[in-house]
């Protein structure tokens, strides 16, 4: 007797055949337009069968065809739902490269159908799946999630998604992109009137600017946004930026090793540990050189 996987795969192909017939047109039968809705239902049933059969490629194709069918019939929400299912199939198939495109398309369909909350949930769920292996693809999804809730006048939530994106950019050492994202994050926190939450973002921005090798930009970030910091955060940021500005090795080192930084995400903590303080100036050696010059004269 055939296994359940074989039987379900055959059942799925039968549903696909039915779907194809719904899409056929015939002058003889006076059928002039495709029945997209019925075809989409059959492809959706086929995808369920292929999932049970663990025939991942056929399952993904069936979800794609069901999405096209629902979209052509005007059911954009159900079209997005098919792509949401496809994201999970791609995860089970370990084809993670597909996930960003599937989730982006699904999120857009959800938004177009008037369901931004469903779009946000799909985008963030997909981002978490691919964070460990494809952080830059996850950044794209977090940005889209931020944009989605931002258009719904939810700047606080939008800022939090951008913080997640900035963290991943730091992880892959793309500090220019991280700094741009953090600037946008501060703007959203300001718009939300949540300045108290922005203090940690200022600390992150200062570290990122130092990671870029730009101590001037780090100091400017403190001067511009330092008002968002509480007294402890401000003390650490001032210690770091002043240490670099004044080339004070010990001051900068103490700031970079401050326990206050441990409240940040691990990626920023690692960044702080990797930043080299300005070189120690050996004042004693300079004095000896000066004495020698005087003696020679």
Q: What is the pLDDT of residues 36-78, one digit of tens each?
A: 999 999 999 999 999 999 999 999 999 999 999 999 999 999 9
Residue 160 in this model has a pLDDT that exceeds 50: yes
Res 295: pLDDT: 46
pLDDT band at 26; cut points 50, 70, 90: confident
How many CA atoms lie less than 13 Å away from 44 in the CB half-sphere? Answer: 19
Res 28: pLDDT: 61
pLDDT average, residue stretch 80-108: 97
pLDDT average, residue stretch 243-263: 95
Please give the Cα distance from 109 to 127 (Å, whole number).
17
Which tokens is 167 given?
């963290």
pLDDT average, residue stretch 173-179: 97
Res 194: pLDDT: 78
DSSP letters for 75-91: -HHHHHHHHHHHHHHHH
Please give the Cα distance from 126 to 114 (Å, whole number).
20
Please give the Cα distance from 222 to 219 (Å, whole number).
5
pLDDT band at 31; cut points 50, 70, 90: low
Q: What is the mean pLDDT of the chain?
A: 92
Is 179 within 8 Å of 208 (Cβ atoms)?
A: yes
Which tokens is 38 given?
């019925």
Res 25: pLDDT: 82
Residue 290 in this model has a pLDDT that exceeds 60: no
Q: Is the dihedral of CA 130, 132, 134, 136 positive or negative?
A: positive
Residue 13 in this model has a pLDDT that exceeds 90: yes
Res 30: pLDDT: 52
Please give the Cα distance from 233 to 171 (Å, whole number).
22
Output the CA angle 44-49-53, nearest 5 degrees. 145
Rg (CA), the chain: 28
Q: What are phi and psi of 74, to 5 degrees?
A: 90, 5
Output the CA angle 225-156-165, nearest 5 degrees. 80
Q: Is the dihedral of CA 65, 66, 72, 76 positive or negative?
A: negative
The pTM score is 0.89
Residue 31 three-state SS: strand
Please indicate whether the domains covering 1-114 and 125-280 agree at the CATH topology level. Answer: yes
Domain boundaries, the chain: 1-114, 125-280
pLDDT in tens, 209-250: 999 999 999 999 999 999 999 999 999 999 999 999 999 999
**Which residue did the predictor score with more confidence, 202 or 289?**
202
Q: Which CATH number fits domain 125-280: 3.30.110.40, 1.10.10.60, 3.40.50.10420, 1.25.40.10?
A: 1.25.40.10
Q: Which CATH number fits domain 1-114: 1.10.357.10, 1.25.40.10, 3.40.50.970, 3.20.20.70?
A: 1.25.40.10
């Amino acid at each position: 007797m055939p296994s359940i996987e074989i039987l379900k795969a055959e059942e799925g192909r039968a549903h696909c055949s039915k779907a194809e017939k719904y899409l056929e047109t015939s002058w003889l039968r006076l059928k002039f337009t495709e029945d997209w809705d019925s075809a989409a239902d059959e492809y959706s049933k086929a995808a369920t069968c292929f999932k049970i059969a663990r025939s991942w490629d056929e399952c993904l194709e069936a979800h794609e065809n069901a999405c096209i069918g629902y979209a052509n019939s005007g059911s954009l929400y159900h079209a997005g739902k098919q792509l949401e299912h496809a994201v999970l199939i791609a995860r089970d198939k370990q084809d993670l490269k597909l996930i960003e495109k599937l989730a982006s398309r699904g999120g857009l369909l959800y938004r177009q159908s008037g369901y931004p909350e469903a779009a946000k949930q799909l985008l963030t769920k997909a981002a978490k799946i691919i964070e460990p292996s494809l952080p830059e693809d996850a950044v794209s999804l977090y940005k889209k999630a931020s944009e989605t809730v931002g258009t719904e006048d939810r700047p606080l939530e939008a800022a939090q998604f951008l913080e997640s994106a900035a963290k991943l950019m730091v992880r892959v050492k793309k500090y220019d992109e991280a700094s741009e994202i953090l600037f946008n994050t501060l703007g959203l926190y300001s718009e939300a009137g949540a300045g108290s939450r922005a203090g940690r973002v200022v600390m992150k921005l200062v570290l990122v600017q130092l990671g870029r090798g730009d101590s001037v930009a780090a100091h400017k970030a403190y001067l511009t946004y330092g008002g968002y910091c509480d007294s402890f955060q401000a003390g650490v940021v001032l210690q770091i930026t002043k240490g670099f500005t004044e080339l004070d090795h010990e001051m900068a080192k103490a700031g970079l090793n401050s326990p206050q930084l441990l409240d940040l995400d691990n990626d920023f903590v690692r960044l702080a540990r990797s930043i080299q303080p300005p070189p120690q100036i050996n004042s004693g050696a300079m004095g000896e050189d000066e004495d020698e010059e005087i003696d020679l004269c």
